[in-house]
């Protein structure tokens, strides 16, 4: 589990078919990774990877074929900058939102404009399976960065976010160009809500009030509206 608050930038170098070497960027505070151990999880551009080797200035992680197919890690050329975040520890501050590191798919940057000390970035989603979770003012992880959806179309296939200067300058969002692919992870809350709405809540199936569909009327009757 992660927060979407990027802690460092690293350089990515493919090693064979399923291994990636990540070298910490200049200026990275080594204390962030001083407790990194074999088997730990690190979010690399929003993708949860397992550490299989520790190096003096980085680490090596393994990526499955599914991970490479579904994310930009399978498209990355050598020596590209990637966002890094170690996994959330119990008791740590949660400043972003819950990010699992299980990328849903890829989106593509369309527009970038500067307005009022922020960068407004617009993205296109060709995959409708992701788009249905995009809602205005909801959370979205872009290359592992926790951001808030500023606006979106009704279908969710297009959305914008506002990126503050600190986030822009401390992540690889600053390097994106129109057409650049990014990793997207929708808020997990939306996926569970969808599961309950369309499949029915398993815990309710044993109740006298069991229903195969949770409607607005059902929620109102039970005090949720």
What whole-number distance in Å separates Cα of residue 62 and Cα of residue 69? 14
The domain in which residue 57 lies consists of: 8-86
Give a yes or no: residue 92 inside a domain: no
Query: Is residue 93 in some structural domain?
Result: no
Question: Average pLDDT in the 190-215 region?
Answer: 64
Q: Is the entire prediction scored with pTM above 0.95?
A: no
| Residues 112 and 59 placed together within one structural domain of the fold | no
Asked whether residue 166 falls in the same domain as residue 198, the answer is no
Instruction: Tell whether the model's pLDDT for residue 181 goes beyond 70.
Output: yes
Judgement on whether residues 138 and 72 belong to the same structural domain of the protein: no
Whether residue 211 is predicted with pLDDT greater than 60 in this model: the reply is no
Instruction: Please write the tens of the pLDDT for every residue from 146-171.
Output: 999 999 999 989 999 999 999 999 99
Is residue 1 a part of any domain in this protein? Answer: no
Q: Is the pLDDT of residue 16 over 90?
A: no
Q: What is the CATH number of the domain that holds 58?
A: 2.40.30.20
In this structure, is residue 15 part of a structural domain? yes
Q: Above 80 in pLDDT, residue 123? A: yes
Is there a domain that residue 97 lies in? Answer: no
Q: What is the pLDDT, as a whole number, of residue 134?
A: 93
Shared-domain flag, residues 129 and 57: no
Q: Please report where in the chains the tokens 């080594």 appear, as a residue.
A: 30
Do 111 and 77 sit in the same domain of this protein? no
- Same-domain check for residues 127 and 163: yes
Q: Are 14 and 36 in contact (CB under 8 A)?
A: no
Sign of the CA dihedral running 169, 99, 23, 28: positive
22 lies in some domain: yes
- What gap in Å lies between CA 46 and CA 98, rounded to an integer? 12
Number of structural domains (the chain) is: 3
Q: What does the pLDDT read at residue 49?
A: 96
Residues 119 and 137 in one domain: yes
């Amino acid at each position: 589990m992660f927060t979407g608050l990027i802690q460092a930038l690293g350089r990515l170098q493919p090693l064979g078919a399923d291994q990636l070497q990540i070298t910490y960027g200049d200026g990275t505070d080594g204390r962030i990774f001083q407790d990194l151990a074999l088997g730990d999880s690190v979010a690399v551009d929003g993708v949860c990877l397992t550490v299989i080797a520790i190096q003096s200035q980085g680490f090596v992680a393994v990526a499955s074929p599914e991970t490479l197919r579904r994310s930009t890690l399978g498209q990355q050329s050598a020596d590209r900058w990637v966002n890094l975040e170690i996994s959330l520890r119990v008791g740590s501050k949660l400043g972003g939102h819950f990010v699992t590191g299980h990328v849903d798919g890829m989106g593509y940057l369309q527009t970038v404009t500067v307005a009022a000390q922020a960068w407004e970035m617009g993205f296109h989603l060709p995959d409708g399976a992701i788009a249905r979770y995009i809602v205005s003012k909801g959370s979205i992880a872009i290359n592992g960065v926790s951001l808030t959806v500023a606006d979106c179309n009704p279908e969710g296939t297009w959305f914008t976010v506002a990126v503050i200067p600190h986030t822009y300058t401390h992540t690889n969002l600053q390097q994106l160009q129109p057409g650049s692919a990014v990793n997207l992870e929708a808020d997990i809350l939306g996926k569970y809500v969808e599961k309950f709405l369309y499949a029915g809540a398993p815990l309710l199936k044993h109740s006298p009030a069991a229903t195969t569909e949770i409607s607005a009327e059902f929620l109102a009757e039970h005090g949720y509206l």
